[in-house]
């Protein structure tokens, strides 16, 4: 049922509007507070004039050049007036009079232009705040915080419990050597769905809040990774090892992700021990000093058990991306031993040739047998720099909601008049949303990112080897602070994220998530009629968005979940940041475009997989495919002619094998989950999954690592939902893709999907052939893909007809009247200044 009471009439808030702020008026507008009667105390400075200037509302809308022209009308007063007063007065008196005259004239002009004559305040009032709008929001449906990430207190409490239970040998993960025992991560353990729904829908007590800890046991006789469930929170009393239950056996130690300590150790080994062994070469090619850095690739070897990684060597550039400055040297480092002292460079590669060891390379160089490419170190003004090339101009448009935000964020729960949901950042898989309800009715239990994959090509070992499964690094763990006004709208709600990984204590990413409502600048719908009847009807397109950004080495992925007023959910990601490049040599251009003097932008694909646990009018759902087909028919009124008649085709897909659509196959254009309820027109209430996608299959199935990302075979696969199949991937797949811990295709085993709780696994992505315009950064424009979840006969009509933002007027109405058209209320209702908080940034270090 729609709750109309949530929509006020006259008091309905106005959709966010976009305003172009007046151009910056320069430093004089940023003022110290006014002293009383500054005119009496002299000397008179720019700031005194500016103070009066700032009091005048009109002045705020005058450009700096206009303002300057007013202050100093040509010819410049100091010269012009100075000549006049020179005879009678001394200079100081002349200046005093000049300033008084200017201020008087200015004040008069100001009064004339504003026409306010003291009747109204001289500065616009502040826009209403959230508190006055509270009654507009739906209540948050989950006070028990079933899906909310663990708080710092909870994380600390789990860590304390584990320390107590696992004994004194536990070493802080930030310090732990591979041969130590350490807690790698702690995060929320999701409750079973049945228990969660029993609580949310039927008032059963909430399931216990639990944590999942990943522990590296490097000190045990059989080093291994263990997964432990700890509960109940906030005061843990039990610990359960779930490793075997989840993975069918113990997790070999070599599958573990690299801790930052391991990265640090490898990096130190390269810079302190490896590079000095080719110092002759490096002095010749690369102005060798402490100016070279290494960058990882993955996977790390060629068979299960390997932990040997190709590292590319790059020039470090202060304040700019080193990723664009390869020097031609790449090293294969075996870091599998538990004792870092035993780590070795197994192979070296320089400018197209492989060498058995660094010594062999250096001897070849000394013998004149190495073709050295001398590369000047890039300056901080290199093309890779993101520093502005020009001074700031007029500010870009700013959006604000004239009557305050139309959504409410409480912890990780978001409520708007239409939507409620809970957001979370899973350490490894990243952004996810739970218990998504539209107009109070749940449409999805979970929509979550699962994995991000990039597969590269190239003619150097690091490039040709690179197949990143970013969940192993952690899309949540590597989420980064969102910069106000750039990464999200200035007035978005910014939310910190507490986490525990790679360190023994909780840390915080400031502003890790943002929530905002945006006016899309395009009507959600509109129609103009001047045939038979004269009217206009329209609705501004608004959308409520939750965003996080993961910076995974060079790349930045922008993850969005967007909620539209018609019940549609839009899931998308954009890629930006630096490309991963390779040293250009030989036939490099078969693998990409040259993007710098010695830089090849290597060809690659981006793909991401999402879990979509829709509950369409309940948990029992069916997958229905619809498309169209032409059928030859005699023309009914002229049977000697034949026509091609378009008709609808419809098929209910009964089994998982029918519901898996590989890339390259023909996929029905309408695929939706249907319920056993019908709408007023007798159609089954459904939600359609509509990808916007340019992906292909990421790897041929002949590849010995393809099974580690076999979700990538399918544009869409629908399976029975099971608590035991929570994810399409495993964080352990990256470091052992040859024997993947989780092979997604195992989910597709021809079970029935008719009338079951279903999950759709959706893959979207695109091919990226980096080009000149990827320098310095890949742009979000054109590099975004995703999918829509859209109501399909779910309602009896478009639910956005209930929106208080709707505009409708007829020819006999005066559309300028606020009673007729809410948009015309805007000049009055929006005559307030948005409460712009000071600019903030979350900094460059995770806060302890």
CA dist 501 and 187 (Å) reads 8
**Cross-strand partners of 596:** 599
Q: How far is the CB of 473 from Cu ion (least distance, A)?
A: 16
CA dist 173 and 19 (Å) reads 48
Q: How far is the CB of 778 from Cu ion (least distance, A)?
A: 5
Largest CA distance in the chain: 108
**Cross-strand partners of 110:** none
What the block records as the tokens of 414 is 């978001």
326 vs 540 by CB, closer to Cu ion: 326
Helices in 348-393 by DSSP H: which ranges? Answer: 358-366
Going 90 to 94 to 95 to 100, the CA torsion angle's sign is positive
- Least Cα distance to 550 among 607, 488, 470 occurs for 470
Site mask for Cu ion (CB under 5 A), range 733-772, x = bound = -----------------------------------x----
782 vs 848 by CB, closer to Cu ion: 782
Q: Is position 574 an interface residue for Cu ion (rule: CB under 5 A)?
A: no
Residue with tokens 């749940």: 442
Which three-class secondary structure state does DSSP give residue 678?
strand
CB 508 within 8 A of CB 152: yes
Q: How far is the CB of 13 from Cu ion (least distance, A)?
A: 40
Burial class, 55, CB count within 10 angstroms (exposed 0-12 / middle 13-18 / buried 19+): middle
Q: How far is the CB of 319 from Cu ion (least distance, A)?
A: 23
Task: Please identify the residue of the shown chain whose CB is closest to the bound Cu ion.
Answer: 768
48 vs 768 by CB, closer to Cu ion: 768
28 vs 765 by CB, closer to Cu ion: 765
Q: How far is the CB of 732 from Cu ion (least distance, A)?
A: 25
Using alpha carbons only, give the angle 730, 429, 485 rounded to the nearest 5 degrees.
Answer: 160
Q: How many CB atoms lie within 10 A of CB 158?
A: 27
Residue 70 dihedral angles phi and psi, to the nearest 5°: -70, -40
Helix, strand and coil content of the chain, in percent to the nearest 5, comes to 20, 35, 40
Which three-class secondary structure state does DSSP give residue 363?
helix
Which of 142, 470, 560, 757 is catalytic? The answer is 470
CA dist 456 and 309 (Å) reads 15
296 vs 439 by CB, closer to Cu ion: 296
What the block records as the tokens of 82 is 């100075």
What the block records as the tokens of 233 is 């929170």
14 vs 452 by CB, closer to Cu ion: 452
Q: How far is the CB of 601 from Cu ion (least distance, A)?
A: 9
- Least Cα distance to 350 among 157, 152, 598, 570 occurs for 598
**Cross-strand partners of 534:** 530
Calculate Rg over the CA atoms of the chain: 32
484 vs 768 by CB, closer to Cu ion: 768
In terms of residues, how long is the chain? 848
- Least Cα distance to 231 among 191, 173, 183 occurs for 191
What the block records as the tokens of 664 is 């390259």
Q: How far is the CB of 602 from Cu ion (least distance, A)?
A: 9
CB 385 within 8 A of CB 317: yes
Q: How far is the CB of 478 from Cu ion (least distance, A)?
A: 16
266 vs 584 by CB, closer to Cu ion: 584
Q: How far is the CB of 452 from Cu ion (least distance, A)?
A: 11
335 vs 768 by CB, closer to Cu ion: 768
Contacts of 227 (CB under 8 A, 6+ apart): 212, 213, 214, 215, 241, 242, 243, 246, 247, 251
336 vs 430 by CB, closer to Cu ion: 430
**Cross-strand partners of 764:** 608
Q: How far is the CB of 772 from Cu ion (least distance, A)?
A: 14
- Least Cα distance to 185 among 266, 264, 256 occurs for 256
326 vs 740 by CB, closer to Cu ion: 326
CA dist 514 and 760 (Å) reads 26
Q: How far is the CB of 212 from Cu ion (least distance, A)?
A: 32
CA dist 412 and 643 (Å) reads 57
Contacts of 297 (CB under 8 A, 6+ apart): 309, 310, 311, 312, 462, 465, 466, 468
Q: How far is the CB of 604 from Cu ion (least distance, A)?
A: 6
User: Between the CA of residue 318 and those of 99, 377, 480, 551, what are the distances in Å?
Assistant: 48, 11, 20, 18
B/e letters for 636-649, b = 16+ CB within 10 Å, e = fewer, are eeeeeeeeeeeeee
Going 673 to 675 to 680 to 683, the CA torsion angle's sign is positive
Site mask for Cu ion (CB under 5 A), range 805-834, x = bound = ------------------------------
Catalytic-residue membership of 555: yes
Q: How far is the CB of 431 from Cu ion (least distance, A)?
A: 19
Catalytic-residue membership of 496: no
Q: How many CB atoms lie within 10 A of CB 99?
A: 18
658 vs 783 by CB, closer to Cu ion: 783
Which of 555, 557, 714, 732 is catalytic? The answer is 555
Q: How many residues bind Cu ion (CB under 5 A)?
A: 1
Residue 392 dihedral angles phi and psi, to the nearest 5°: -60, 145
CB 413 within 8 A of CB 421: yes
688 vs 768 by CB, closer to Cu ion: 768
CB 493 within 8 A of CB 514: yes
Residue 419 dihedral angles phi and psi, to the nearest 5°: -120, 150
Catalytic residues: 470, 555
Binding residues for Cu ion (CB under 5 A) = 768
């Amino acid at each position: 049922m729609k709750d109309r009471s949530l929509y006020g009439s006259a008091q309905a808030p106005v959709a966010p509007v976009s305003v172009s702020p007046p151009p910056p008026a320069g430093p004089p507008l940023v003022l110290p507070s006014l002293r009383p009667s500054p005119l009496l105390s002299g000397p008179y400075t720019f700031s005194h004039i500016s103070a009066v200037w700032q009091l005048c509302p009109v002045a705020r809308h005058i450009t700096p050049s206009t303002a300057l022209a007013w202050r100093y009308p040509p010819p410049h007063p100091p010269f012009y007036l100075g000549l006049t007063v020179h005879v009678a007065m001394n200079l100081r008196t002349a200046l005093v009079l000049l300033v008084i005259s200017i201020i008087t004239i200015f004040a008069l002009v100001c009064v004339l232009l504003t026409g306010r004559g003291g009747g109204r305040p001289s500065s616009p009032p502040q826009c209403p705040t959230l508190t006055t709008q509270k009654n507009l929001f739906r209540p948050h449906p989950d006070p028990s915080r079933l899906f909310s990430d663990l708080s710092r207190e909870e994380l600390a409490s789990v860590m304390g419990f584990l320390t107590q239970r696992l004994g004194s040998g536990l070493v802080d993960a930030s310090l732990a050597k591979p041969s130590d025992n350490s807690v790698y991560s702690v995060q929320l353990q999701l409750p079973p769905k049945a228990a969660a729904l029993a609580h949310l829908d039927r008032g059963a007590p909430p399931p216990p809040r639990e944590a999942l800890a990943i522990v590296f046991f490097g000190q045990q006789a059989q080093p291994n990774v263990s997964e432990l469930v700890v509960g109940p929170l906030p005061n843990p009393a039990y610990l359960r090892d779930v490793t075997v239950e989840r993975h069918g056996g113990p997790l070999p130690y070599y599958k573990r992700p690299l801790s930052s300590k391991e990265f640090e150790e490898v990096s130190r080994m390269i810079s302190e021990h490896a590079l000095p062994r080719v110092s002759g070469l490096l002095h010749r090619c690369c102005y060798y000093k402490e100016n070279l850095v290494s960058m990882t690739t993955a996977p790390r070897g060629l068979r299960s058990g390997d932990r040997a990684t190709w590292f590319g060597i790059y020039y470090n550039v202060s304040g700019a991306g080193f990723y664009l400055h390869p020097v031609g040297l790449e090293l294969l480092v075996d870091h599998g031993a538990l004792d870092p002292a035993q780590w070795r460079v197994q192979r070296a590669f320089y400018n197209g040739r492989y060498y058995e060891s660094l010594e062999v390379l250096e001897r070849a160089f000394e013998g004149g047998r190495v073709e050295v490419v001398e590369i000047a170190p890039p300056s901080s003004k290199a093309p890779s720099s993101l520093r502005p090339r020009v001074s700031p101009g007029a500010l870009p448009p700013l959006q604000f909601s004239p009557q305050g935000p139309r959504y409410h964020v409480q912890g990780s729960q978001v409520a708007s008049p239409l939507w409620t949901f809970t957001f979370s950042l899973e350490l490894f898989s990243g952004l996810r949303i739970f218990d998504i309800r539209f107009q109070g009715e749940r449409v999805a239990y979970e929509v979550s990112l699962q994995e991000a994959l990039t597969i590269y090509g190239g003619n150097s070992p690091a490039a040709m080897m690179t197949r990143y499964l970013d969940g192993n690094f952690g899309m949540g763990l590597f989420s980064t602070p969102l910069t106000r006004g750039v990464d999200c709208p200035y007035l978005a709600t910014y939310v910190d994220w507490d986490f525990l990984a790679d360190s023994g204590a909780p840390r915080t990413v400031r502003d890790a998530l943002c929530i905002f409502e945006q006016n899309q600048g395009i009507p959600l719908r509109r129609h103009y009629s001047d045939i038979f009847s004269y009217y206009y009807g329209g609705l501004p397109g608004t959308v409520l968005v939750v965003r996080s950004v993961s910076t995974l080495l060079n790349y930045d992925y922008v993850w969005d979940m967007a909620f539209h007023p018609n019940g549609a959910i839009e899931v998308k990601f954009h890629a930006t940041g630096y490309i991963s490049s390779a040293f250009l040599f030989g036939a490099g251009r078969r693998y990409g475009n040259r993007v710098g003097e010695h830089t090849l932008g290597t060809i690659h694909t981006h793909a991401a997989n999402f879990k979509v646990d829709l509950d369409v009018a309940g948990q029992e759902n069916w997958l229905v495919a619809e498309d169209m087909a032409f059928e030859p028919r005699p023309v009914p009124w002229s049977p000697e002619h034949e026509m091609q008649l378009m008709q609808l085709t419809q098929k209910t897909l009964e089994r998982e094998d029918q519901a898996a659509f590989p890339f390259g196959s023909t996929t029905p254009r309408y695929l939706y989950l249907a319920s056993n309820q019908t709408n007023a027109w007798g159609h089954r209430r459904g939600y359609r999954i509509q990808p916007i996608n340019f992906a292909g299959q990421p790897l041929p199935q002949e590849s010995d690592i393809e099974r580690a990302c076999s979700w990538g075979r399918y544009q869409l696969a629908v399976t029975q939902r099971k608590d035991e199949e929570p994810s399409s991937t495993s964080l352990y797949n990256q470091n052992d893709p040859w024997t993947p811990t989780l092979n997604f295709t195992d989910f597709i085993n021809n079970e029935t999907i008719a009338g079951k709780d279903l999950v759709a696994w959706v893959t979207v992505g695109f091919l990226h052939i980096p080009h000149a315009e990827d320098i310095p950064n890949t742009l979000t424009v054109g590099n975004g893909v995703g999918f829509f979840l859209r109501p399909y006969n779910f309602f009896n009509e478009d639910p956005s007809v209930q929106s208080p933002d709707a505009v409708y007027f007829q020819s006999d109405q005066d559309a300028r009247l606020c009673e007729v058209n809410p948009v015309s209320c805007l000049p009055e209702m929006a005559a307030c200044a948005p409460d712009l908080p000071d600019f903030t940034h979350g900094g460059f270090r995770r806060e302890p």
